[in-house]
Structure 1
Amino acid sequence: MLLAGDIGGTKTQLAVFSLAEGPRRPVAEAIFPSAEYTDLADMVREFIARTNLPVEYACFDVAGPVIGGRAQLTNLPWIVDSAALAAELNLRRVWLLNDLQATAYAVPQLTPADLETLNKGEPAEYGAIAVIAPGTGLGEAFLVWTGSSYMAYASEGGHTDFGPNDEVEIELLRFLLKRYGHAGYERICSGIGIPNIYDFFRDSGRFPESPRIAQALATTDDRTPIIVQAALDPVEPDPLCVAAMEMFVSVLGAEAGNLALKVLATGGVYLGGGIPPRILPLLRGERFMRAFTHKGRFSEMISRIPVHVVLTQAALIGAARYGLERMSSD
C-alpha cells in the first residue's frame, strides 16, 4: 500500500491508497495540524499506528522546490529528505513532489464534477496543459504528453517579474518596488498578495478605508479572508475591498494567459489553489477572461484555450497517482 501526503504549513493531509482502488479512493485518511509535530516522520508514525495498514511506499507533495529528493519547507521548520524518511520509517521507497507538480499530476484524473469551466474553448488532443494556483503563494506547473501519458513539471514561475498592463498597474508596480525591492506575481496573485493590493488602493487615496474593515484588519494576522469576504458581501460590498479583488482577478487572468503562451497550453489552463473556488463570482465575470485573452496578435488563438477552476483537493490525488504508478513498476 501507498501512503500519500499533502504537506501544508497549517495542516497536512495523509491518506493510504491501494493499487486496486486507485488515487481517487483512499483506504484511510486523516488531517493533522502540521505545527504540532517536530517533523514529518513523527506524524507519519502516528498515522500508520492509528490505521494499522501495511504501508510499504510513500509519496509526499511539499510547498517549495524539490532538488535531489530533498526539500526545505517554506512555512514549516522541516527538512524533508526522501531517502532518510524511507530509512527512518522502514519503507521500501519514498518520493517527493513539489505541490504544484502534484496538482498537475491530478489533472488527468479530474472529472467534470471537480471543475468549474470559465472558458469551454477548443482543447487540442494531447496539447500541453498549464496549472496556476493562487493560495498562500502562487504556484505554477505544466504537463506535456509523452506519447503514452502526461508528465508534470514544476516551476517557480509565480516569482517572475510582474508586468503591468495599464496606468494603475504601473503605479502598483512602483508601490511594490518601493515596499519590497522586487515585484513578482506572487506579491499580487496570492493570499500574501491581496493585502498588498488593498494597501496600494488605500494609501493612494483612491478609495477611503471603512473604519469597520480597518478595525477588523488590525486585529488579525491574516487579512486576506476579511478583504475577500468584504468584497463578496451580497448586501454591502466594501468599495476598497472590491477594487482590490478586481485588480487581483485582472492580474491573475493576465498571468494565467502568460503561462498559457509560455507552454502553449492548447490542452487547457487549470486554476488550482485555495483562492479560486472562493471567488467564483468574480472569476465568472468578464474581467478574468478579458485579461487572459489580452495578448495582442495572439488574442484570438488564446481565446480558444479552455480554462477551468479546480474545485477539489487535487494535490493529494496527484501525489497518490504519482506514487501508485511508480509503486506498480518498482
Structure 2
Amino acid sequence: MILNKARPSSYPRLVADIGGTNARFGWIAGPGAGATQVRKLAVPDFPGPADAARAYLSELSVALGQAYQPPRQAAMAVATAVGDDRVAFTNSHWGFSRAALQAALGLDGLQVLNDFEALALALPHLRPEQLRAHGALPQARGTLAVIGPGTGLGVAGVVQTRHGWLALPGEGGHSTLAPGDDFESEVLRAVRRDFSHVSAERLLSGIGLPVLHRAVAGVLGQQIAEPWAAEQIMDRGLAGADEAASRSLDTFCTLLGSFAGNVALVLGARGGVYIGGGIVPRMEQRFFASAFRERFEAKGRLRGYLEAIPTALITDTLVALTGAAAAIEQQVG
C-alpha cells in the first residue's frame, strides 16, 4: 500500500532501512543525489519508527541549519512482511500504522516496503567497489536474487522488464532448510528436538547462529549448558579458539550455499545471486575460503546451470537506502 498525494516538489526525501537491531536513516536532497547524512540508531532506544525518525530529523535540522527543509516523501525498508496498514516487526518490539506514521512526520507520501524488496531494487545500481565476487561479477540483467543473513534471513528477487526493474518480495527465509551431507543431517536432527520446523532462518541468521552452534557442539560430543551469543560464536570461531564455534561457521557457509543455490533455481536468477545482511561481511575471508560456492553448484543434473550463475557478497551495508530511494523514484519520479 502506498500513501501519496500530489505536491509540486517531492524533495527532500527521507529514506530508512530498519532491521531488528538498528535503523539507518538517510537524506536525498534533490534529483540525482544519493543518500547522504546517514545515521544509525539503535532500535531498542526508541518506542517506534516515528520517534527514531524525529530524533534523526531533529539532529539533521541542526546540522543543516537554514538549508534544512522537512522531507516531502519517504520510503522505509522494514525487516518484516508488509501487507495492509499495520506493520509489526518480526524480530523487534516495533509496530506502527503507516497512515499514522505518514501523518506524524507530515509527509506527502510514504512507502513502506520489505527490507529485502529494497535491497533487491538496489542490486541493478551496485558498483564493483560495493561487491566482492566469487570470480566474475554479476551482471545487472535478467533476474537477480539477494539473500541476507542478518538478525533474521531475508530473501528477494528483482526482474528486468521493459518498464524497469520489478522487485519480487517474499518470505523465503522461512522455507524449510535441507541438509547437504550426513553431518548436516545430524545437526538438523538435533535442532528438530526443539523445533518442529527448521527453517533457513532458524540457523542462518543472528538469532539462529546460537541454535546452530549448540546443535553442532552436540553432534561433536560437546554439551553446551547455556547458548552462546552470536558475537561470541563469531569471535571464537574466527580465531580458531573453539572447535564447535569454528565448525559452526563452516556449516553456516555450506548450508547457506545450498540454500542460495535453491533460491537461484526457484527464481531463475541467471544474472546473479547476491549475499547481503550483516553476518557474512564479518567473516568475509572465512566465507570466501569456505565450501559455499561448491555447495551452491552441487545440484546434480543442474550443476552446469548453477556454475554459470555468479555470486557476490555485498560489502556496503547501506545499499538498502539506495533501494528505498529507487522505490520513491518508481512511484513519484
- TM-score in terms of structure 1 length: 0.88
Task: State the superposition RMSD in angstroms.
Answer: 2.1
SS of 2:110's partner is strand
Answering whether residue 54 of structure 2 is matched by residue 48 of structure 1, we say no
Alignment of 1:261-276 (within 5 A): 261-276=265-280
- Larger mean Cα displacement after TM superposition, 277-286 or 244-253: 277-286
SS of 2:291's partner is helix
Which has the higher relative contact order, 1 or 2, with Cα contacts under 8 A spaced 6 or more apart?
Answer: 1
- Corresponding residue for 1:168? 183
Which of 231, 240, 256 is residue 237 of structure 2 equivalent to? 231
Cα contact 2:27–2:35 (8 A) shared by 1: no
Cα contact 1:143–1:152 (8 A) shared by 2: yes
- Corresponding residue for 2:322? 317
Amino acid at match of 1:103: L
Amino acid at match of 1:75: N
Amino acid at match of 1:131: V
Q: CA deviation at 1:153?
A: 1.7
Which of 88, 97, 101 is residue 117 of structure 2 equivalent to? 101
Answering whether residue 22 of structure 2 is matched by residue 11 of structure 1, we say yes
Spell out, residue by residue over 1:191-237, the C-alpha distance to the aligned partner (whole angstroms, 9 max, x if none). Answer: 12222222112223x2557xxxx7xx96xx8611211121211xx44
2-side partners of 1:31 and 1:125: how far apart?
29
Q: CA deviation at 1:149?
A: 1.9
Which of 128, 136, 155 is residue 112 of structure 1 equivalent to? 128
Change (3 A) 1:190 1:76: closer
Cα contact 1:134–1:189 (8 A) shared by 2: yes
2-side partners of 1:207 and 1:239: how far apart?
11
Amino acid at match of 1:230: R
Answering whether residue 97 of structure 2 is matched by residue 91 of structure 1, we say no
Q: CA deviation at 1:239?
A: 1.9
2-side partners of 1:125 and 1:109: how far apart?
8
- Corresponding residue for 1:201? 216
Spell out, residue by residue over 1:234-290, the C-alpha distance to the aligned partner (whole angstroms, 9 max, x if none). Answer: xx4422211111111110000000000000110100000001111122221251111
Spell out, residue by residue over 1:23-50, the C-alpha distance to the aligned partner (whole angstroms, 9 max, x if none). Answer: x342x33222222222222222233233
Amino acid at match of 2:236: A
Number of residues paired by the alignment? 314
Q: CA deviation at 1:327?
A: 3.2
- Larger mean Cα displacement after TM superposition, 138-147 or 276-285: 276-285
SS of 2:197's partner is coil
Q: Please list every run of at least 4 consecutive aligned residues from structure 1 whose deviation after the TM superposition is greater than 3 angstroms.
A: none
Q: List runs of 5+ in structure 2 lacking aligned partners.
A: 1-11, 62-67
Identity %: 32
Spell out, residue by residue over 1:142-176, the C-alpha distance to the aligned partner (whole angstroms, 9 max, x if none). Answer: 01112142111211111111111222222222212
- Corresponding residue for 2:13? 2
Cα contact 1:119–1:305 (8 A) shared by 2: no
- Corresponding residue for 2:199? 184
SS of 2:204's partner is coil
- Corresponding residue for 1:291? 295
Spell out, residue by residue over 1:41-67, the C-alpha distance to the aligned partner (whole angstroms, 9 max, x if none). Answer: 222223323323321111101111000
2-side partners of 1:69 and 1:117: how far apart?
38
Alignment of 1:50-69 (within 5 A): 50-52=59-61, 53-54=68-69, 55-69=71-85
Alignment of 1:80-159 (within 5 A): 80-120=96-136, 126-159=141-174
2-side partners of 1:222 and 1:104: how far apart?
32
Q: CA deviation at 1:118?
A: 1.5
- TM-score in terms of structure 2 length: 0.88
- Corresponding residue for 1:77? 93
Q: CA deviation at 1:70?
A: 3.5
